[in-house]
């Protein structure tokens, strides 16, 4: 019996058609800027999302890191959500490697950082303080789509107070599909954006950082310094281009399946559904029953993400079809029907 893997949308396998696109890719040495497929991907995303330039990198973690390092100097500060990926799930890289101080702010349940809390966190210009340079948002955050009017308010605050605005848009396309807007309607508010191709879009590897040409030139330097300069990376960029051409609209299917999963788990005595948005469902079970959950899901060959976030995360993606989802629902309902 195959595993139904609901841990993350990173687990997808490249399809046969995607592998064919990879095999056919024209390649060159991308450290010399000579990989035509990487260049095409960078230009395509820059043009789609409204930026001067883009940079293909191995991971979203590196994309965010070099973006932060391009915006901030040693002793500068970025303001960020307490549960944001760029603060909590990137090994402290901005501080460790960039000498950039994070100023975390408690996120609201919808993933926004209250505008007045951000404003109060901005430091006066005074040698006592790090220099506040950047606000970093995440969209989607834990599946939540940030409201469009909130993005405009964040932009206005950054303009008023002289901060740059970065988006960790690992799941930007999920947000755009959920809102029914073009992705650039979201990205228009930001100075830089990091997009993952290896999440719901289904490519095996890669993220792209977008910004002004000057910012991307700096980031390219930091990409090399942090070991992310790749050579014939067009093989990977071809998968990313294939994903952009074929796998964006279908994110709506993942969202519909997450909604179905949410509905199927509501009202059970043994499972508390915390939230569901886009392709994520978060559930709680009593701590004492976690070993039983692990055991029963293992027996049913269903994988969940337990322990990374306070609630248990279930993520729908390309490799979970209706039949797979039904199997996961049956296993979870069997567990949840006992209190």
Ligand X SMILES: *Cc1c(COP(=O)(O)O)cnc(C)c1O
Contact residues: ligand X, CB under 6 A: 59-61, 64, 85, 138, 168, 170, 196, 198-199, 207
Q: At what angle do helices 251-265 and 172-179 cross, to 10 degrees?
A: 80
Residue 96: Cβ-neighbour burial (10 angstroms; 0-12, 13-18, 19+):
exposed
Q: Please list the alpha-helical segments (H only) found in 10-53.
A: 16-23, 36-49
Q: Which of 121, 89, 67, 75 is nearest to 10 (CA)?
A: 89
| In the complex, minimum distance from the CB of residue 337 to ligand X, in angstroms, rounded to a whole number | 32
CB of 98 to ligand X, least distance (A): 16
Distances (CA, A) of 20 to 10, 11, 235: 20, 19, 10
> Whole-number minimum distance, CB 198 to ligand X, in Å?
6
Q: Among residues 198 and 247, whose Cβ is nearest to ligand X?
A: 198
- Please, which residue, 58 or 270, has the CB nearer to ligand X? 58
- Dig out the tokens for 302 from the structure: 């269903």
**Residue 146: strand, helix, or coil:** coil
- 134 SS3 class: strand
Q: How far is the CB of 300 from ligand X (least distance, A)?
A: 26
Residue nearest to ligand X (CB): 60
Nearer to ligand X, 286 or 310 (CB): 310
Nearer to ligand X by C-beta: 37 or 279? 279
d(CA 187, CA 217): 20
Give the shortest CB-59-to-ligand X separation in angstroms. 3
Residue 63 or 101 having the CB closest to ligand X = 63
């Amino acid at each position: 019996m195959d595993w139904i893997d609901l841990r993350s949308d990173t687990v997808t396998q490249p399809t046969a058609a995607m592998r064919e696109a990879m095999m056919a890719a024209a390649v060159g040495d991308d450290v010399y800027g000579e990989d035509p497929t990487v260049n095409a991907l960078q230009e395509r995303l820059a043009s789609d999302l409204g930026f001067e330039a883009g940079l293909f990198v191995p991971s979203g973690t590196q994309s965010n890191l070099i973006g932060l390092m391009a915006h901030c100097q040693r002793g500068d500060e970025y303001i960020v959500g307490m549960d944001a990926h760029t603060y909590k799930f990137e090994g402290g890289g901005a501080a460790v490697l960039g000498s950039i101080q994070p100023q975390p702010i408690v996120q609201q349940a919808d993933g926004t950082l209250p505008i007045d809390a951000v404003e109060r966190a901005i430091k006066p210009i005074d040698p006592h303080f790090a220099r506040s340079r950047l606000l970093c948002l995440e969209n989607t955050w834990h599946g939540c789509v940030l409201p469009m009017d909130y993005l405009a308010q964040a932009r206005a605050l950054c303009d008023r107070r002289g901060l740059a605005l970065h988006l960790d848009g690992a799941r930007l396309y999920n947000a755009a599909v959920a809102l029914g807007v073009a992705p650039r309607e979201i990205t228009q508010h930001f100075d830089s954006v990091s997009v993952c191709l290896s999440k719901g879009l289904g490519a095996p590897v890669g993220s792209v950082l977008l910004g002004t040409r000057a910012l991307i030139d700096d980031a390219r330097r930091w990409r090399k310094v942090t070991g992310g300069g790749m050579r014939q990376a067009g093989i990977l960029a071809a998968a990313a281009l294939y994903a952009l051409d074929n796998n964006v609209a279908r994110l709506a299917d993942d969202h519909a399946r997450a909604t179905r999963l949410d509905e199927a788990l509501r009202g059970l005595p043994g499972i508390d559904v915390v939230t569901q948005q886009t392709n994520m469902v978060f559930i709680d079970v009593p701590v004492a029953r976690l070993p039983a959950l692990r055991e029963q899901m293992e027996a049913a060959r269903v994988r969940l993400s337990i322990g990374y976030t306070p609630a248990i995360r279930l993520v729908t993606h390309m490799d979970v079809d209706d039949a797979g989802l039904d199997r996961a629902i049956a296993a979870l309902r069997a567990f949840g029907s006992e209190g």
